[in-house]
């Protein structure tokens, strides 16, 4: 009996994503039993919608973490990308160019991060801490601290629901699903994906194989910026307001989603599916804490503890392998 | 011809420690340049610098006439590097590791959207691994689960996915067993034949002597000497490596004379006590010092006696051969001719009509025994000095000898001669012939075998492998070369002496299916093989 339990535990913890998945199911069941509102389709769709932009940004973040780096500027990039898009629309630009402008903002910040980390070889923590402040500062400077309101309806539709087989699915969730498939394919079925994993686990092996390592790093950071911008634009569309303070502190949630989903902070491991589950865990936990009336001021403590626990779990698993 | 790789005054300092100092070198296409030096002499660091991984403190590097700037990606330029320890991606499987950085992709992918063609890469990888005699159950095995030898071979296999212009090899043989070391050497030769330049750094002088054209010697990060391999002796190279002009004997001579073994043992004991004494020298007084001096003198004396003994043996053998040659000529030119003369005279007498038939048949009998006497003498001459060796060379001499031997003893001989045997110096040809002779003699006397296999093959352009395998009794349990002379057996001993005098290596071993295998690897000046791929 004890043995089979042990084996089951081993099986669950052998795959990186499964710990988070188990946790998700556990919390979900608990909340479903406790509160009647949690398992209603409406609440569930709400939960999925509210973690969709976090998840999208976390796809990029997880790539950065897989190559052994970290990007602290994602939250600020989400805010600035939404802001630039909104600013362009306000000044009369058509929808599509405005969105592209927002996306390009994300790419640019990511490219700067990647170039400094990859080619100058500075530690990513310091570099992205710097760009985080710079980007947030630009957001404040551009707006003078005031939010941009009255966004065009066409843009705000991106944050609404879409009738799909008579189910109202939020557009951000569709975008998230699409990007999850694309990123999964990139990671598992392309040469670049192989390079990304190898870069995290053994950079030297890649170096002696003649791969342009700096270029891969620039690619990953730029992609991370781009995905953060996608998330930021969708968030802005949903909220209908582009505030310079938007997405403040989201970098923590994004990194947490990646880490809880099994992306290793030591590099070389992680999957998009895991990130999805991780983002879900974060949001469900938040949602559940609110529904169960947990004191609001203490909620961050719970989330922080959760992150720490998962990093410890990853550490133990690694030690077990060695 | 312009140099493919040209390094000018390259230096590298770690902190304040100079590791490579002002090294300049050139490697030409189709040339194998060896890099010798003790460990810590800066070979690996130099290889890293040339591979573009570290920037040097100073110096310039040109490849195909273009100056390179660090850090550069060597593989992009057509430079393959085999490192001392393999850098593999642990979580990837064998195929992915072999093709890492040079994946075969579907034609429709582009840039970072390239999609690998797994099937084709697997097929190619299987072919490369088969070439390297490296079997795997599955190419999907993660390299983290492989032995370090297999990992090193995979790193070598990686260089075969592209066609390089220059290969830099940083002594990977530490992790490789003998057959794979030989594989690496044959790869180097194949590269050389294709006109690829090779820079081969190794701690193994045998390897360097076998395949290189030139040898550079590094000591304390400096290039202290350069040798042309064909003209260099091991002693010179070792002397340059350790930096002594003193002609000390560095490697023991290993042939087996009983007295020599005793002397050697004594020497070892003396050396040991010298080491012991030296250890607490500080606490000792001058008497000990004198004692040590005496001991050192004795050791030197023993060493020089040892060398003198070896010289004497060599002279003895040469004179023996001379003597045999002289004897053979004497017998052939004098005695046989005289006997034939006598025979001729008897023939004349036989023709005389006046002789009685009884006497006539007696005469015929005598003439018959004279003829067989002449045949016996010719046979003896042949053993003393193989008649064909001077004119037709070793191969022909061994062919005729083994045919003759098989006919005489009734033991069947299979002969496997290298088609590119070529002509070797007289002393070596004679010695090889004698080794085969002694070996076969031994087989007839002791083995009780029905089949013998004699094989002469070049294992590299500078070494010849002579092997004699029989299906007889094999060596007895607890066989010891040094006790043979006491029992009056000199056959194997004389083989071992001859091999030792040629600076070669000898191995006896019982084969798994019974019978003895004698293998002698003999170094010789390079034989120029006909070019061709």
Domains of chain B: 5-242 (3.40.50.300), 393-533 (3.30.565.10)
Residue ranges of E strands in B141-221: 166-170, 197-201, 214-219
Contact B115 A208 (CB under 8 A): no
Domain A40-321 fold is: ABC transporter involved in vitamin B12 uptake, BtuC (1.10.3470)
Contact B91 A194 (CB under 8 A): no
- Chain A residues closer than 8 Å to B54 by CB: none
Q: CA–CA separation, B84 vs B269, rounded Å?
A: 37
Partner-chain residue, chosen from B51, B75, B91, that has the shortest CB–CB distance to A197:
B91
At B299-337, the pLDDT tens digits run 888 888 888 888 888 888 888 888 888 888 888 888 888
- Chain A residues closer than 8 Å to B74 by CB: 210
Contact A194 B96 (CB under 8 A): yes
**Above 50 in pLDDT, residue B52?**
yes
Q: Is A188 on the interface with B (CB under 8 A)?
A: no
Q: CA–CA separation, B500 vs B308, rounded Å?
A: 15
Q: Which of B445, B430, B439 lies closest to B384, judged by CA?
A: B430
Helix (H) or strand (E) segment spanning residue A138 = helix A124-143
Average pLDDT, chain B: 82
Interface of B with A (CB under 8 A): 51, 53, 73-76, 81, 83, 87-92, 96-97, 100-103, 105, 109, 112-116, 158
Cα→Cα distances B65→B1, B5, B22, B80, B237, Å: 12, 8, 20, 18, 31
At A74-99, the pLDDT tens digits run 999 999 999 999 999 999 899 999 99
> Mean of the pLDDT values across residues A29-55?
84
**Above 90 in pLDDT, residue B113?**
no
Q: For testing the chain A interface, which of B74, B99, B112, B154 should be mutated: the one with the most A CBs within 10 Å?
A: B112
The DSSP bridge partners found for residue A162 are A169
**Above 80 in pLDDT, residue B171?**
yes
- Chain B residues closer than 8 Å to A205 by CB: 87-89, 97, 100
Partner-chain residue, chosen from A190, A205, A212, that has the shortest CB–CB distance to B114:
A190
Q: Where are the domains of chain A?
A: 40-321
**Confidence bin at A214 (pLDDT 50/70/90):** very high
- Please give the DSSP secondary-structure letter assigned to residue B116: B
Cα→Cα distances A31→A90, A190, A277, B33, B186, Å: 42, 40, 17, 73, 69
Q: What is the ipTM of this complex?
A: 0.82
Q: Which of A307, A111, A268 lies closest to B91, judged by CA?
A: A268
Contact A209 B113 (CB under 8 A): no
pLDDT at B528: 55
**Confidence bin at A219 (pLDDT 50/70/90):** very high
**Confidence bin at B251 (pLDDT 50/70/90):** very low
pLDDT at A136: 95
- Chain A residues closer than 8 Å to B100 by CB: 194, 198, 205-206, 209, 211
Q: CA–CA separation, B508 vs B479, rounded Å?
A: 10
Q: CA–CA separation, B220 vs B97, rounded Å?
A: 35
CA of residue A52 relative to chain centroid, distance? 9
Nearest CA in chain A to B79: A210
Contact A198 B100 (CB under 8 A): yes
Contact B101 A197 (CB under 8 A): no
pLDDT at B246: 52
Flag the least confident range among B281-285, B483-487, B527-531.
B527-531
pLDDT at A94: 92
Contact A208 B87 (CB under 8 A): yes
Between A and B, how many CB-CB pairs are < 8 A? 70
């Amino acid at each position: 009996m004890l043995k089979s339990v042990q084996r089951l535990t081993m099986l669950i913890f052998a795959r990186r994503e499964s710990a988070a998945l188990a946790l998700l199911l556990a919390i979900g069941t608990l909340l479903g039993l406790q509160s009647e509102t949690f398992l209603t389709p409406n609440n569930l769709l709400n939960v999925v919608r509210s973690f969709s932009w976090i998840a999208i940004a976390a796809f990029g973040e997880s790539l950065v973490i897989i190559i052994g780096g970290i990007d602290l500027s994602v939250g600020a990039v989400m805010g600035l990308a939404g802001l630039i898009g909104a600013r362009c629309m306000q000044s009369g630009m058509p929808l599509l160019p405005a969105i592209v402008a927002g996306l390009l903002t994300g790419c640019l910040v990511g490219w700067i991060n990647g170039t400094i980390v990859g080619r100058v070889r500075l530690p990513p923590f310091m570099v992205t801490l710097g760009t985080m402040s710079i980007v947030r500062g630009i957001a404040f400077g551009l707006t003078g601290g005031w939010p941009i309101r009255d966004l065009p309806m066409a843009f705000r539709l991106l944050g609404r629901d879409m009738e799909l087989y008579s189910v109202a699915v939020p557009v951000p969730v569709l975008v998230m699903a699409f990007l999850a498939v694309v990123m999964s394919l990139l990671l598992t079925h392309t040469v670049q994906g192989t390079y990304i994993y190898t870069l995290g686990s053994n950079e030297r092996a890649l170096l002696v194989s003649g791969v342009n390592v700096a270029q891969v790093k620039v690619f990953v950071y730029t992609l991370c910026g781009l995905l953060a911008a996608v998330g930021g634009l969708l968030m802005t569309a949903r909220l209908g307001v582009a505030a310079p303070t938007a997405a403040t502190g989201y970098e923590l949630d994004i990194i947490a989603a990646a880490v809880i989903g099994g992306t290793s902070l030591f590099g070389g491991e992680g999957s998009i599916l895991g990130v999805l589950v991780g983002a879900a865990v974060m949001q469900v936990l938040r949602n559940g804490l609110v529904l169960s009336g947990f004191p609001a001021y203490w909620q961050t403590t719970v989330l922080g503890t959760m992150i720490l626990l998962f990093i410890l779990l990853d550490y133990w698993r690694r030690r077990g392998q060695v | 011809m312009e140099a493919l790789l040209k390094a000018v005054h390259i230096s590298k300092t770690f902190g304040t420690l100079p590791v490579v100092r002002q090294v300049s070198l050139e490697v030409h296409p189709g040339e194998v340049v060896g890099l010798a030096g003790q460990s810590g002499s800066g070979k690996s660091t130099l290889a890293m610098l040339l591979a573009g991984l570290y920037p040097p403190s100073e110096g310039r590097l040109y490849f195909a006439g273009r100056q390179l700037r660090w850090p550069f990606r060597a593989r992009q330029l057509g430079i393959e590097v085999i490192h001392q320890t393999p850098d593999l991606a642990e979580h990837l499987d064998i195929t992915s590791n072999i093709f890492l950085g040079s994946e075969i992709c579907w034609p429709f992918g582009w840039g970072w959207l390239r999609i690998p063609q797994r099937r084709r890469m697997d097929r190619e990888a299987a072919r490369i691994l088969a070439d390297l005699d490296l079997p795997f159950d599955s190419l999907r095995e993660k390299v983290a689960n492989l032995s370090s030898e297999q990992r090193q071979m995979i790193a070598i296999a990686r260089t075969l996915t592209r066609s390089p212009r220059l290969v830099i090899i940083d002594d990977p043989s530490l992790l490789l067993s003998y057959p794979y070391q030989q594989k690496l050497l044959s790869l180097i030769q194949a590269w050389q034949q294709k006109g690829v330049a090779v820079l081969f750094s190794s701690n193994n002088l045998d390897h360097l002597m076998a395949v290189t054209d030139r040898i550079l010697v590094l000591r304390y990060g400096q290039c202290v000497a350069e040798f042309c391999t064909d003209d260099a002796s091991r002693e010179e190279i070792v002397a340059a490596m350790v930096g002594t002009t003193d002609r000390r004997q560095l490697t023991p001579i290993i042939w087996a004379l009983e007295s020599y073994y005793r002397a050697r043992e004594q020497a070892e004991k003396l050396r040991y006590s010298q080491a012991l004494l030296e250890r607490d020298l500080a606490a000792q007084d001058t008497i000990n010092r004198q004692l040590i001096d005496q001991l050192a003198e004795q050791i030197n004396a023993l060493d020089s006696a040892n060398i003198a003994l070896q010289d004497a043996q060599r002279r003895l053998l040469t004179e023996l051969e001379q003597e045999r040659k002289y004897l053979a000529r004497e017998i052939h030119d004098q005695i046989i001719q005289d006997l034939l003369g006598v025979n001729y005279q008897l023939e004349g007498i036989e023709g005389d009509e006046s002789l009685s038939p009884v006497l006539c048949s007696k005469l015929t009998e005598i003439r018959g025994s004279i003829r067989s006497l002449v045949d016996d003498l010719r046979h003896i001459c042949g053993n003393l000095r193989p008649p064909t060796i001077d004119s037709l060379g070793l191969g022909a001499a061994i062919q005729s000898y083994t045919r003759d031997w098989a006919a005489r003893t009734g033991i069947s001989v299979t002969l496997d001669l290298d088609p590119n045997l070529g002509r070797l110096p007289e002393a070596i040809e004679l010695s090889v012939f004698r080794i085969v002779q002694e070996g076969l003699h031994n087989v007839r006397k002791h083995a009780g075998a029905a089949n013998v296999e004699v094989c002469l093959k070049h294992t590299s352009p500078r070494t010849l492998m002579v092997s004699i395998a029989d299906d007889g009794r094999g060596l007895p349990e607890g066989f010891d070369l040094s006790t043979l002379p006491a029992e009056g057996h000199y056959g194997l001993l004389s083989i071992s002496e001859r091999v030792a005098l040629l600076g070669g290596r000898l191995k006896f071993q019982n084969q798994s299916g019974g019978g003895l295998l004698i293998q002698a690897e003999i170094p010789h000046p390079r034989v120029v093989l006909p070019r061709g791929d």
